[in-house]
């Protein structure tokens, strides 16, 4: 079992990614995928505006990077890894995952998700839907919500307040 202190530290990494999204006027959401040893395998921020890609959510970007990292590590060691099973990893994200990201998490076999702020409009880890713990699916995820919640929520509130004031 990982301590709550580790979750706080890891959320700091995700928050740093979220702040990077502000440079491209993307919604400031950040994510990191950590391996079983706690090393960062992948990181991502929302890049939908930057890339013009509706699937470029922070979680998807981080999952893709982690899968690539695992394939590279396996290739260097002479082994073979499919790269899509992140079965010993933890995903940390500043906002509760949406349905698309929750589906990607389940399909990647990620066993643990730590998130900051709840998404009462589109969350799929307990608020609107609970895809991550849906018993009819073939994989279930441990969910640790509310880590540095106020800090994560404030970043989003400030971003949207700024957007509204420009309209």
User: Model confidence over 50-106: pLDDT tens digits?
Assistant: 999 999 999 999 999 999 999 888 888 877 767 779 999 999 999 999 999 999 999
Task: Mark out the alpha helices in the chain (DSSP H runs).
Answer: 4-21, 48-51, 58-76, 99-107, 149-166
Whole-prediction pTM: 0.93
Q: For residue range 103-150, what is the model confidence (pLDDT) as tens digits? A: 999 999 999 999 999 999 999 999 999 999 999 998 999 999 999 999
CATH code of 45's domain: 3.40.140.10
In a domain, 74, yes or no: yes
In a domain, 67, yes or no: yes
Which tokens in the block code for residue 76? 């260097």
Which tokens in the block code for residue 56? 């470029």
- The range of the structural domain enclosing residue 98 comes to 4-162
In a domain, 167, yes or no: no
| Structural domains counted in the chain | 1
- Whether 148 and 15 have beta carbons less than 8 Å apart is answered as yes
Active site residue 59: yes
Choice among 59, 68, 120, 134 that is catalytic: 59
């Amino acid at each position: 079992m990982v301590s709550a202190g580790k979750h706080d530290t890891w959320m700091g990494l995700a928050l740093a990614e979220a702040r990077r999204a502000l440079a491209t006027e993307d919604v400031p959401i950040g994510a990191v995928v950590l391996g079983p040893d706690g090393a960062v395998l992948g990181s991502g921020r929302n890049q939908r505006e930057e890339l013009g890609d509706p699937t470029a959510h922070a979680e998807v970007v981080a999952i893709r990077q982690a899968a690539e990292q695992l394939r590279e590590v396996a290739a260097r060691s002479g082994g073979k890894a499919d790269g899509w099973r992140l079965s010993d990893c933890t995903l940390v994200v500043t906002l509760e995952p949406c349905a698309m990201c929750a589906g990607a998490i389940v399909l990647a076999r990620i066993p643990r998700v730590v998130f900051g702020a709840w998404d009462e409009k589109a969350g799929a880890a307990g608020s609107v839907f609970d895809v991550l713990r849906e018993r009819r699916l073939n994989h279930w995820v441990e969910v640790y919500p509310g880590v540095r919640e106020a800090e994560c929520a404030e970043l989003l509130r400030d971003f949207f307040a700024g957007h509204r004031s420009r309209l």
